[in-house]
Amino acid sequence: MFTTAAQLLDLTDKKITAVLRDGKKFIGVLRSWDQFGNIVLESTIERIYGGHKFAEVPRGLFLIRGENVLLLGEIDLDKDDYVPEPYEKGDVDEVFAVYRQELDEKRAKDKAKLKKMKAMGFVDGETGGDALF
């Protein structure tokens, strides 16, 4: 079965979570979409995870380009307020600082990995491995 933008019809006017390619997570009510998979979320919040804490940043009406969407899913309203065991809600500034530190560590690790792969000839120097095929 193919996933197409038309399948977003079932999710219209429902609370969904959207995970983007860069790892950002948004929760909101799907109000509109088009044939390219671009979506409009209303009453959107961005959820940031850092360590074992999370914070929610209100974003309001939010437009997401379809090419950036990695995952969409409907939220079960009965379990909407449930927080999984290791996580607890924290202050936005505190959680964002931990998130930024984790992101910087990941980037440094990825940079070192790319350098090793270049040395072994697995990665082209110009494309960074994006155009291997």
Which of the four pLDDT bands, split at 50, 70 and 90, describes residue 14?
very high
pTM listed for this prediction: 0.79
Q: What is the CATH number of domain 5-119?
A: 2.30.30.100
Q: Is 91 helix (H, G, I), strand (E, B) or coil?
A: coil
Give CA separation, 68 vs 17, 27, 48, 128, in Å.
Answer: 14, 15, 17, 20
Q: What is the mean pLDDT of residues 49-78?
A: 92
Q: Where do the structural domains in the chain lie, given as residue ranges?
A: 5-119
As beta bridge partners, residue 18 has 26, 72
